[in-house]
Structure 1
Amino acid sequence: MSALPRARQEPRWLTLAVTGTILFLCALPLLRLAITGARSAGFEGIAGLLADPQLWPAFRNSLTTSLLGMILSVVLGMVFALALTLTDLRRRSALGILFILPMMIPPQVTALAWIGMTGPSSALLKAVGLAPSLGSPQPLYSIGGIALLMGVQHAPLVYLTLRASLLSLPRDAIEAARLAGAGRWRTLADIVLPLALPGLVAGASIAFVSGIGNFGIAAILGIPAGELTLPTLIYSRLTAFGAGTFGDIALLAALIAIIAFAGLFIQERALAGRDYRVLGHSGAAASFMLGRWRGPVEAMLWLVIGVILLAPFAALLAGALAPAYGVRLTPDTATLDAFREVLFRQSATRTAFSNSFLLAGAAALILGVMSLMTAYLLTRRRGRLARVLSALTDVPYALPGIVISVAFLLLFAAPVPFLGIRLYGTLSIILLAYLSSFLAVALKPVDSAFRQLDPVLEEAARMAGAGFSRRMRDILLPLVAPSALAGAVLVFLFACNELTVSALLWSAGTQTIGVVIYNLDDSGSFNLAAALSVIVVLIVALLMLLLHLGGRYLPRGTVPWQS
């Protein structure tokens, strides 16, 4: 067979540009981390780390909180996925969006909201006369409190992965079980759950890995209680900078990465031999009619939403309206001073808003364009290169954010060779870390859109002599642009409220909203941190609503929480 003419091939510059960009963003930082870790992994370096009295308690706390949080996430995520996907509940869409919202809210905001909902200083509990007596301990400042909030924060991850599996179930199998006389519980146990097990295991694994790398919840709840996890141990080492700091944090980050990959490996082993192949029509939505149980099940789910979302947000709002932390909130004491302070008087918060929106907007715009070029190459090119590039884009997103931030810190701590440009201490290093962390978020919707396109359209244009730029501009871009826009909005959502990556990379003048919220709470200004958090939650909710309303015009799978 003769070679295809040049017009039928992707441009060489596209292959080089995409390959170079992915290697720079996804491979080079991790390679730098590995090199630093290897240099520090001599006998003395490892012996010193193993002898560190803070290492093993932090290691144990990380595993404990991640495992307990994963269990809670699986329970909550499975209940909501089964109820909202397989039953005839009313207002399923609203319940689904509200259940997803805690995942989109920054973890430090979640921690502040729950602190405001519990303990003797809760403005909300004081307002309704249910606050514990003064001097009572804050129950969330504990390993159990960290695990509880991680479970709530990561339950939507289990929900999304399990829901995707449930939506692909064969209707024929469920109908056959019913015709054979199987009841609802028998069908659920023998048909639905075994076929949906891969999604459940994948969700549990993602929840565990997310817990290992969670910094915001562990920092706000663990540091006051003296309970360090591996991410907060890295943070404490960096803030107390000294000889050997880079080597220590490289080894600690490598340890977190090993735990994360171990969790993913266990997932693969658990699913080995469980490659279920289904025939027939998929889509088992509303397969179970609840009958007289529909009302109680709806009430239970709305109660859970109230406990994990509505009540914490009400406590956050009450804390922002109270004149000071611990003061009883009444119509006479309520004030908007905290909102005026963070919006108009605090220069740090204005800078943080500017930095966060600039970084999030730049990341969304750059990754929107990158996702178009990358998805085109990965879907049109076959072979080892495409597989390697696709795997590399997933690695930074699969790793905890603390590992990515350490990798970029090590890569750019010194001026760039030959150029003499110093990126550390600037917004540029945070932006590069965002591009690495969120490339997969922007790429997935566009990749899905390209794979759903009929290749005949582009083939016809090629036969007519249209070059790559003409085909992209006139045919492909109009069809995939909505998915690219949705991916960019998701990147903006994640980047605007991010803390874990920027916590290690910020400096004076480059702080982000997440960093300012953490610093305000750390300095004792709970009402100011609460006011800023309320604003963040409202922004996130508005962006999610806009994305949800526009999701009906996008290819299937573009908006994660929709069918």
Structure 2
Amino acid sequence: MAALLCLIAIFPVLRLLVEGAMPQGKLGLGALDRVLSDPATWTAFGHTLWVSLAAMAISGLIGGAMALVVALGDLPARRTLVFGFTMLLIVPSQITTIAWIELLGPSSVLLKLFGLAPAPGARHPLYSATGITLLLGLEHAPLVFLSLRPALRVLPGDLIEAARAAGARPMRVVRTVVLPLVAPSLIAGMALAFVSTIGNFGTPALLGIPARFPMLTTLIYQRLSGFGPRVLSEVAALSLLLGVLAAGGVLVEAWLAGRRDVRVEGTASSIHLPLGRWRPVAVAAAWGFLALTLLMPLLALLATALVAAYGQPLGPATATLENFRFVLFDDPAAGRAIIDSLGLAAAAAAILFLVAVPVAYFAVWRGRRLMRLLVLAAELSYALPGVVLAIAAILIFIRPVLGLTLYNTLGIILIAYLARFFTLAQRPVAAAFRQLDFRLEEAAQMSGAGFVRRVMTVALPLVAPAAAAGGLLVFLTAFNELTVSALLWSAGHETLGVVVFSLEQAGENTVAAALASLTVVATVGLMALASFLTRHLATPVLPWQA
């Protein structure tokens, strides 16, 4: 287990550092010098930095407001609201972006139904720095929400009651009591949104490339796609620059969170601030926001998939299921992508399911320091952008390893998925182990059960639902992944994310919309299945349950 975690968490970063310092095995910083002296690098760096900061502010505003309303307000159907809001994050970035492109463009099938589509030939409003920023802020708002909501749910109720007894109105309670206490969680969520925005590829590629607005992820993609393996040293240096920017965000978050002591005395309790006459307004605002940002784009995506030709109005004469039939039965690339994505996601989920249980066993129940440190290293590597991991995988496997060649195969994508999604599988299992009494295993050991038997008969049955939920999270994320596979796919070995992205880039909008719509349906089904499997757990382990 320790060797596997070293391979996942430490070796890829070391390989990137070696390539930056010793390009092609020769000591020197020529590649780094060329990258740092290139004006295109600093243009993309500047774009990435300020777009990420602005998107982080938008995510903090939207996610923070939604968390406050859902956690503290007396709203009906809050579980459904949380599930829907989390879908903004779970639905893949490239599909969300395509849905918004189809909603707001001059050829919008949905807006044409109401006569609201922009004039033909008008510039698409999202093909700009503002469009990229707004969409990235919206996509990552659930990260702030998911970070802040658990902190709000464990606030001591007596503090709120004391403030209200002193005559403070709900808004003043939130401003002077609640927000100062949950500031570390808010900062952590915004930092996570910042790091995720830095590493996002789908939205900057679909909106930024047509708008000629480069960011670091798209610059790396264009360099590698245009020049191939001979620019690996320069691309590795760019990846290190991207990684430094992400690590800087994590370090700033840790510094800000550590500046304030927010420990309190009291018992956590469920807190509700009655909204009074504002309750109908809050309900309408929350559900209206979801309808506008989730339902409308997805309906626009579906409407585009149902017309025979792009730009046609949807009606009885133009409605067709031909696009769905084509991607399911006639398009060889889409067919391969579906099979490849299913196989890769299932393999990654199964392997990490088997790995997560013993790792969490040693890290949580046994408390082995080495395993805890390696798990922490793996979680820190999860914060690195997926593009950085993809470049590391290319550097490692471009030459045969032990006589095996993984480059230009599905194997290199699978290895990258294992490194990328280990944390998703491990965290629910670790949380489940923390709920369990260690004396259960001690009793089995006193009865003569060996290590393997204790794990198989005591630990595994107790954490199986959480491990299954983690495996489903891995399957769900890997099935829709684009950032890693965009740099690792090869002809005949495509993934769903790559095919959807390629179809959209090639102007096959109706076919891309059909394939994206099928992916959304599969995503919602998997989320529902994961919720069903974990409904009896004492502590929620899924993001939209926590």
TM-score of the two chains, using structure 1 as the length reference: 0.94
Q: Among residues 361, 374, 391, which one is paired with 2:346 in the alignment?
A: 361
| Structure 2: runs of 5+ lacking an equivalent | none
Question: Is the Cα contact below 8 Å between 2:221 and 2:487 reproduced in 1?
Answer: yes
Residues in 1 aligned to 2:223 and 2:414: alpha-carbon distance in whole angstroms: 23
Residues in 1 aligned to 2:531 and 2:111: alpha-carbon distance in whole angstroms: 34
Are the structure 2 counterparts of residues 283 and 432 from structure 1 closer, same or farther at C-alpha, using a change threshold of 3 Å? farther
1:260-299 alignment runs, 5 A limit? 260-285=246-271, 287-299=272-284
Residues in 1 aligned to 2:440 and 2:166: alpha-carbon distance in whole angstroms: 46
Name which of structure 1's ranges 384-393 and 99-108 shifts more when overlaid on structure 2. Answer: 384-393
Which residue number corresponds to residue 507 of structure 2? Answer: 524
1:312 aligns with 2:327: no
Q: Deviations over 1:392-425 (max 9, x none)?
A: 2202211111111111111111111xx2210011
Q: Among residues 368, 376, 379, which one is paired with 2:364 in the alignment?
A: 379
Residues in 2 aligned to 1:513 and 1:252: alpha-carbon distance in whole angstroms: 26
Residues in 2 aligned to 1:331 and 1:64: alpha-carbon distance in whole angstroms: 46
Question: Is the Cα contact below 8 Å between 1:551 and 1:562 reproduced in 2?
Answer: no
Q: Deviations over 1:230-282 (max 9, x none)?
A: 00101101111257511111011100100001001110111123232222221
Q: Among residues 460, 467, 471, which one is paired with 2:450 in the alignment?
A: 467
1:555 CA drift (Å): 3.8
Question: Is the Cα contact below 8 Å between 2:324 and 2:511 reproduced in 1?
Answer: yes
1:383 CA drift (Å): 5.5
Which residue number corresponds to residue 12 of structure 1? Answer: none
Residues in 2 aligned to 1:104 and 1:330: alpha-carbon distance in whole angstroms: 31
Question: Is the Cα contact below 8 Å between 2:110 and 2:299 reproduced in 1?
Answer: yes
Are the structure 2 counterparts of residues 381 and 38 from structure 1 closer, same or farther at C-alpha, using a change threshold of 3 Å? farther
Residues in 2 aligned to 1:329 and 1:52: alpha-carbon distance in whole angstroms: 48
Question: Is the Cα contact below 8 Å between 1:165 and 1:198 reproduced in 2?
Answer: no
1:106 aligns with 2:92: yes
For 2:467, the aligned partner's letter is A
Residues in 1 aligned to 2:144 and 2:47: alpha-carbon distance in whole angstroms: 22
Secondary structure of the equivalent of 1:134?
coil
1:474 CA drift (Å): 1.8
Secondary structure of the equivalent of 1:241?
helix
Question: Is the Cα contact below 8 Å between 2:306 and 2:314 reproduced in 1?
Answer: yes
Name which of structure 1's ranges 86-95 and 266-275 shifts more when overlaid on structure 2. Answer: 266-275
For 2:249, the aligned partner's letter is G
1:46 aligns with 2:32: yes
1:428 aligns with 2:426: no
Q: Among residues 141, 146, 155, which one is paired with 1:169 in the alignment?
A: 155
Question: Is the Cα contact below 8 Å between 1:166 and 1:283 reproduced in 2?
Answer: no
Which residue number corresponds to residue 467 of structure 2? Answer: 484
For 1:381, the aligned partner's letter is R
Are the structure 2 counterparts of residues 409 and 388 from structure 1 closer, same or farther at C-alpha, using a change threshold of 3 Å? same
Secondary structure of the equivalent of 1:64?
helix
Question: Is the Cα contact below 8 Å between 2:34 and 2:234 reproduced in 1?
Answer: no
Residues in 2 aligned to 1:244 and 1:272: alpha-carbon distance in whole angstroms: 44
Name which of structure 1's ranges 320-329 and 174-183 shifts more when overlaid on structure 2. Answer: 174-183
Which residue number corresponds to residue 160 of structure 1? Answer: 146
Residues in 2 aligned to 1:414 and 1:136: alpha-carbon distance in whole angstroms: 48
Question: Is the Cα contact below 8 Å between 2:465 and 2:534 reproduced in 1?
Answer: no
For 2:523, the aligned partner's letter is V
Residues in 1 aligned to 2:230 and 2:296: alpha-carbon distance in whole angstroms: 45
1:42 CA drift (Å): 4.0
Residues in 2 aligned to 1:240 and 1:441: alpha-carbon distance in whole angstroms: 33
Residues in 1 aligned to 2:346 and 2:92: alpha-carbon distance in whole angstroms: 17
1:501 CA drift (Å): 0.5
Residues in 1 aligned to 2:422 and 2:378: alpha-carbon distance in whole angstroms: 7
State the number of aligned residues. Answer: 543
Q: Among residues 308, 315, 336, which one is paired with 1:323 in the alignment?
A: 308
Q: Deviations over 1:258-309 (max 9, x none)?
A: 0001001110111123232222221334x20112211111111111101110
For 1:309, the aligned partner's letter is L
RMSD: 1.4
For 2:406, the aligned partner's letter is L
Residues in 1 aligned to 2:129 and 2:416: alpha-carbon distance in whole angstroms: 29
1:245 aligns with 2:231: yes
Residues in 2 aligned to 1:245 and 1:128: alpha-carbon distance in whole angstroms: 50
1:413 aligns with 2:386: no
Are the structure 2 counterparts of residues 242 and 453 from structure 1 closer, same or farther at C-alpha, using a change threshold of 3 Å? closer
Q: Report the identity percentage.
A: 47
For 1:108, the aligned partner's letter is Q
Name which of structure 1's ranges 440-449 and 24-33 shifts more when overlaid on structure 2. Answer: 24-33
1:300 aligns with 2:285: yes
Q: Deviations over 1:198-238 (max 9, x none)?
A: 11000000000000010001111111111111001011011
Name which of structure 1's ranges 370-379 and 241-250 shifts more when overlaid on structure 2. Answer: 241-250
Q: Deviations over 1:25-70 (max 9, x none)?
A: 2211111111001224945333321232321221111112211211
| Structure 1: runs of 5+ lacking an equivalent | 1-17
TM-score of the two chains, using structure 2 as the length reference: 0.97
Residues in 1 aligned to 2:229 and 2:374: alpha-carbon distance in whole angstroms: 37
